[in-house]
Amino acid sequence: MLELRLVQGSLLKKVLEAIKDLVTDANFDCSATGFSLQAMDSSHVALVALLLRSEGFEHYRCDRNLSMGMNLNNMAKMLKCAGNDDIITIKADDGSDTVTFMFESPTQDKISDFEMKLMDIDSEHLGIPEAEYHAIVRMPSAEFARICKDLASIGDTVVISVTKEGVKFSTRGDIGTANIVLRQNTTVDKPEEATIIEMNEPVSLTFALRYMNSFTKATPLSNTVTISLSSELPVVVEYKIAEMGYIRFYLAPKIEEDEDETKPQV
Amino acid sequence: MLELRLVQGSLLKKVLEAIKDLVTDANFDCSATGFSLQAMDSSHVALVALLLRSEGFEHYRCDRNLSMGMNLNNMAKMLKCAGNDDIITIKADDGSDTVTFMFESPTQDKISDFEMKLMDIDSEHLGIPEAEYHAIVRMPSAEFARICKDLASIGDTVVISVTKEGVKFSTRGDIGTANIVLRQNTTVDKPEEATIIEMNEPVSLTFALRYMNSFTKATPLSNTVTISLSSELPVVVEYKIAEMGYIRFYLAPKIEEDEDETKPQV
Amino acid sequence: MLELRLVQGSLLKKVLEAIKDLVTDANFDCSATGFSLQAMDSSHVALVALLLRSEGFEHYRCDRNLSMGMNLNNMAKMLKCAGNDDIITIKADDGSDTVTFMFESPTQDKISDFEMKLMDIDSEHLGIPEAEYHAIVRMPSAEFARICKDLASIGDTVVISVTKEGVKFSTRGDIGTANIVLRQNTTVDKPEEATIIEMNEPVSLTFALRYMNSFTKATPLSNTVTISLSSELPVVVEYKIAEMGYIRFYLAPKIEEDEDETKPQV
C-alpha cells in the first residue's frame, strides 16, 4: 500500500512539465526514503534524476519498495487537471496495475480522482558516482533559460567556459557568432539573483543546445540553477525542489572535431 | 423599421463568441418582447436558445415582427470590431436585405457602421415545453468550464450524476478514468461561488464532452451556470445574461450501449 | 571605425520588429548626422525610411560614411537577445565584413556580443522630395492599428477620406461594408490621445490594407502616428522615435477601376 500526500501539489505538476518532453516512459521508485525517478531521454543522450524526499510529504506511507512504470505524457495530462492550490495524493494498492492521483481543492469542495494504468518498463538503475567538479556555477534559473533560448536562435551548440571572473556561453551559426559573459556577482539584493562561481581549474565544454533548452523546462521549480562542470564528465544541471529534493539533468559534452573552429575565446 | 440600442455592447460580442462555433447560420427574431434566436447546431444534435428582452435595451424600436437570417461567423467578425465599451445599435429598414451594426465609442469620437447582407434561412421554431427536472445544479461557470476541459483530455463523454451530497462528473478513456465530485456548498463568501443542488430524485446521464465544451464558450456571459437534468429529457445548460435574458443550450443524453462499462459509481 | 552606443537599446529592437517583415535585406547608412536606412519592400510597392540622429546616441563615432548591408531577419534575431533595459552598441571596424552588436545589462553583470556577417546589397538612394500634402492626420497609433486590423477582417483595401470634421476609413468585402469615422478631437486629457486634422482640401484615397497593417508593426515606437495624404502622391505614415528620428512608410494609392463600386461616401 502506497499513499503519498503532497500539500504543495503544484510541485508535482511542475516536475512533470519539466521532464515529460525529455522522457516518454519511466519507472517511479518509491521507498521509505522518498519518491524518485531515473531515466534516459528517448535518444539515450541525457539522463534525468528526480528525488522527492519522504519528509517533504505531509503523509508518506510506502509499505514496501515499489517501482511504478508510467507514461509521463499521460501522467502530465492527469496532473494538469489538478488546480495549482490543490493537495495531491498518489495512491496504489499492493499488486495493483493502476495508480490513483487524488486532487483536493483547498476548500475541500472539489475532490477528483484520476486512475491511470501502470506499464512494465525495463530499466536498469545507473549508479551515479559522486564526482569532483572543476567548476560549479550557481546562477538565476531564468537567466540560464534566457541564455539557452537566445543562443539557440543563432547556433546548435553552446561552449560553456568558466574562469574566476565569470562564465561565458558561446555559439556559432550560419548568421554569425554570439558570446554572453556573466560576471561573478554576489552583491545582489536577493540571494537568488547572485551568480556564484566555485572553480578549481578553468574548464571549457561544448553541449547540444537542444538538450540544454529541454532542461530549462524545470525553471518554474527553482529560482536558481547549479551547473557542475568537469572535462570528460557529463555536466550536471540541477534544480532544487524546495526542501524536498531536486531534479538533475546529466549531459555528456560534445567532442570537438575541429578545435580551431569552435575554440572558446575566454 | 428596427432600431435596438444596447449600451453594454460587449454583451452582444460575447453572445456571438458563445454560439458562432456551434451554429453557422441562424434567424434572429425581433418582436416587441425582445431579440431572440433558436437554432440547431450544424450536426442537428444540440439546440441553442437566446433571449435578450426589450427592457434590457436603452432604446428598442421594432415596428413589426422581423426574422433576420445571418451568418454568425460574419456577424461575429463585425462585432469583433466594436470596442468593449462601445454602445452597439442594430438597425434594419423595412424590407431591406441588409442589417447595420453601429458602434459608438464612449467618448463619441469614433463612430463605426458595419453593413451585412441578410440570408434566407429555413427554420421551424420548436416549441420547448416547460419541464420538471429531477435535479438542478447551479455552480460557478468557470468551474464547469474547467471540469469539461479537464475531462476532455481523458475521455469523450461525461457522466453527470447528482445526489443530495453533490454532483459527480466522470469519464473514461484510453489512458484511464476520472471522477470529479463537487459538494453542495452554500456557505461561500460570494453567492456566485456557491454550488447549489435542488434534487427531486437522483439522476445520472451521459453526454458528449465535445458539445459541453462548446457550450462553455458562454462562460464570459455569467459567473454561474445552471444545469437542469432529467432522465430522457435533454439537459439544459443555462447562462443568464445580466438582467436581459439568457442563453440556453439543450443536448440529448447518450444512450449507454454497455451499462457495465460506464455505469456511474456515485 | 564605427561605434554607436544607444542607452535605450529597446528602441533598436522595436525598429527591427517594425521593418523586418516588410524588408528582407537593406543597407544601413552611417554618417556624421546619423544612422539611417531607406529600402523598398520585397514586392517594390512600399518604401521605408528610417532615421536615428547622431544626437540621440550616448556615444556616436563614425569616422567616414559607411553603408552596411544586413539581412534584417538575422539582425532582428540577434537584437531579440538583448534585454529590454540593455544598452546596445553597434560596432564595425574599417573594411571589416562583419558588424558587432554589444548588449550590456543595466547592472553590467551580463555582457553579450553578437557578430553578424555583412552583405553586398545593390541599392540606389531615392531622393524623396518635400511635398505639400492636402491633408495631415495625427492620431493615436494604437487606434490606427486597431482600425487597419478591423477593416482587414472585412476587405482588402481601405479608402481614407479626410474632411474638416474628421477622417473616414472604409472598406468593402464579400460579407459587407464598413465605415469608421474619427472626429477631430483636441480636447483630450493626454495630448497623445488627440485626433488632429490639418486640411487644405478634402482628399479621398484607396490603399492596400496588407501594407497598412504591416506599417502598424511600428506602433510600439510611438503613441501617435501621422498620416499625410495628397491625391497622386504616396501616403506617408510616420512614427516618430523619441527625440531621435522617425520611421516613415510610403505607399502609392490604388487607382480605382470602378469608381461607382468603391466611391467613398463622406
Sign of CA dihedral C28, C34, C39, C41: positive
Which residues of chain B does A107 touch, with a Cβ-Cβ cutoff of 8 Å? 185
Cβ-Cβ pairs closer than 8 A, A with B, add up to 51
**pTM for the model:** 0.92
**Which structural domain, as residue segments, surrounds residue C69?**
2-117
Write out chain C in H/E/C secondary structure: CEEEEECCCHHHHHHHHHHCCCCCEEEEEECCCEEEEEEECCCCCEEEEEEEEHHHCCEEEECCCEEEEEEHHHHHHHHHCCCCCCEEEEEECCCCCEEEEEEECCCCCEEEEEEEECECCCCCCCCCCCCCCCEEEEEEHHHHHHHHHHHHCCCCEEEEEECCCEEEEEEEECCEEEEEEEECECCCCCHHHCEEEEECCCEEEEEEHHHHHHHHHHHHHCCEEEEEECCCCCEEEEEEECCCEEEEEEECCCCCCCHHHHCCCC
Strand partners, C250: C47, C236
B127 in any annotated domain: no
Of B88, B117, B146, the one marking the end of a domain is: B117
How far is A111 from A87, CA to CA, in rounded Å?
Answer: 10
Domain boundary among A87, A117, A147: A117
Neighbors of chain B with 3 or more C-beta pairs under 8 Å: A, C
pLDDT (average), residues A175-191 = 91
DSSP string, B64-81: S-EEEEEEHHHHHHHHHT
pLDDT bucket at C265, cuts 50 / 70 / 90: very low
Residue B246 has pLDDT above 90, yes or no: yes
% of chain A surpassing 90 pLDDT:
83
Beta pairing, strands C46-53 & C98-104: unpaired
pLDDT for res B263: 43
* Cα distances (Å, whole numbers) of residue B136 to A108, B160, B198, B205, B225: 22, 12, 5, 13, 10
Contact A78 B176 (CB under 8 A): yes
For residue C256, the model assigns a pLDDT of 66
Q: Which residues of C touch A179 (CB under 8 A)?
A: 112-114
A228 and A149 share a domain?
yes
Residue B106 lies in a domain: yes
Distance (Å, whole) CA C85 – CA C83: 5
Are both C79 and C178 inside the same structural domain?
no
Q: Are residues B106 and B144 in the same domain?
A: no
* Cα separation, B182 vs C255, whole angstroms: 64
| Interchain proximity B183–A108, CB inside 8 Å | yes
C175 to chain B: which residues are within 8 Å by CB? Answer: 71, 74, 77-78, 116-117
By Cβ distance, the residue of B150, B176, B181 closest to A115 is B176
Alpha-helical segments (H) within chain A: 10-19, 72-80, 141-152, 209-215, 259-262
pLDDT at A265: 43
Answer yes or no: do C31 and C113 share one domain: yes
Reply yes or no on whether the pLDDT at C262 is more than 60: no
- Average pLDDT of chain A? 93
* Cα distance between residue C120 and residue C111, in whole Å: 29
Co-location of B145 and B183 in the same domain: yes
CA atoms within 13 A on the CB side of C32: 2
The per-residue pLDDT for C259 is 46
Distance from CA of B155 to the nearest CA of A (A): 11
- The one-letter amino acid code at B37 reads L
Residue B258 in domain: no
The one-letter amino acid at A155: G
**Mean of pLDDT values over C243-260:** 83
Q: What is the pLDDT of residues B92-130, one digit of tens each?
A: 998 899 999 999 999 999 999 999 999 999 877 778 888
pLDDT at A16 (0 to 100) = 98
CB contact under 8 A, B81 and C181: no
Q: How high is the pLDDT of residue B266? A: 39
Q: Is A153–C81 a contact, with Cβ atoms under 8 angstroms apart? A: yes
Phi, psi (rounded to 5 degrees) for A99: -125, 145
Residues A175 and A217 in one domain: yes
DSSP state, B125? P
**pLDDT for residue B234 is more than 50:** yes
pLDDT in tens, A234-252: 999 999 998 899 999 999 9
Q: What is the pLDDT of residue C124?
A: 75
pLDDT band at A122, cuts 50/70/90? confident
- Note whether A250 and A45 are within 8 A (CB): no
Q: How many Å apart are CA A80 and CA C190, to the nearest integer?
A: 45
Spatial distance between the Cα atoms of C137 and C154, rounded to a whole number of angstroms: 23
Residue A66 near residue A2, CB atoms below 8 Å: yes
Write the residue in B153, B176, B195 that is nearest to A116 by C-beta.
B176
A95 CB-near residues (< 8 Å, 6+ apart): none
Q: How far is CA A218 from CA A148, A212, B65, in A?
A: 13, 11, 61
Contacts of A180 in chain C (CB under 8 A): 81, 110-112
CA distances from B230 to B205, B210, B235 (A): 8, 20, 7
Q: What is the CATH number of the domain that holds C77?
A: 3.70.10.10
The verdict on B109 and B139 lying in the same domain is no
Q: Shortest CB distance from B175 goes to which of A77, A108, A111?
A: A77
Euclidean distance between CA atoms B98 and B90, whole angstroms: 11
pLDDT in tens, A84-96: 999 999 999 988 9
**How distant is the Cα of B13 from the closest Cα of chain A, in angstroms?**
29
Whole-angstrom distance, CA of residue C197 vs CA of residue C208: 22
In a domain? residue A12: yes
Q: Which candidate, C120, C104, C110, C144, places its Cα nearest to that of C238? A: C144
* DSSP classification of residue A132: -
- Is it the case that residue C264 has pLDDT exceeding 50? no
Q: Which residue is associated with the grid cell 539581412?
A: C71
The reply to whether B95 falls in a domain is: yes
Same structural domain, A189 and A99: no
Using 50, 70 and 90 to split pLDDT, how confident is the model at C125?
confident
How many folded domains does chain B comprise?
A: 2
A31: amino acid identity, one letter: S
Same domain, C246 and C149: yes
Q: Is residue A179 part of a domain?
A: yes
On chain C, the residues whose CB falls within 8 A of the CB of A195 are 109
- Give the residue among C224, C77, C251 at the shortest CA–CA distance from C138: C224
Nearest Cα residue in chain C from A165: C109
Across the interface, whether the CB atoms of C175 and B74 are under 8 A apart is answered yes
Say whether pLDDT at C168 is over 90. yes
Q: Judge whether C11 lies within some domain.
A: yes
Which tens digit of pLDDT belongs to each residue from C218-243?
999 999 999 999 998 999 999 999 88
Question: Which of the other chains make 3 or more beta carbon contacts under 8 angstroms with chain C?
Answer: A, B
Are residues C96 and C150 both part of a single domain? no
Could you tell me which residues are beta bridge partners of residue B6?
A: B88
Question: Residue B256 class from Cβ within 10 Å (0-12 exposed, 13-18 middle, 19+ buried)?
Answer: middle
Nearest CA in chain A to B188: A107
Residue C150 inside a domain? The answer is yes
Chains B, C: CB contacts within 8 A come to 51
Asked if C86 and C103 touch (Cβ cutoff 8 Å), the reply is yes
Strand-pair category, B235-241 with B157-162: unpaired
CB–CB of A48/A249 below 8 Å? yes
Of chain A, the end-to-end C-alpha distance in Å amounts to 55
pLDDT at A261: 45
Nearest-CA distance C77 → chain A (Å): 7
Chain C positions with Cβ closer than 8 Å to A: 71, 74, 77-78, 80-81, 98, 107-117
Burial class (CB in 10 A: 0-12, 13-18, 19+), B8: buried
A214 and A246 in a single domain? The answer is yes
Please tell me the distance from the alpha carbon of residue B66 to that of residue B35, in angstroms, as a whole number: 10
Q: Which three cell numbers stand for residue B90?
A: 442594430
Beta bridge partners of B173: B176
Give the per-residue pLDDT at C257: 57
Query: What's the DSSP call for residue B191?
Result: G
Q: In whole angstroms, give the CA distance from residue C204 to residue C192.
A: 25
User: Do C105 and C142 reside in the same domain of the chain?
Assistant: no
C-alpha B189/C-alpha B209 separation (Å) is 31
Give ipTM to 2 decimals: 0.91
Contact B231, B205 (CB under 8 A): yes
Nearest CA-CA partner of A82 in A27, A3, A15, A37: A15
For residue C177, the chain B residue with the least C-alpha distance is B115
Kindly indicate the confidence band of residue B256, based on its pLDDT and cuts at 50, 70 and 90: low
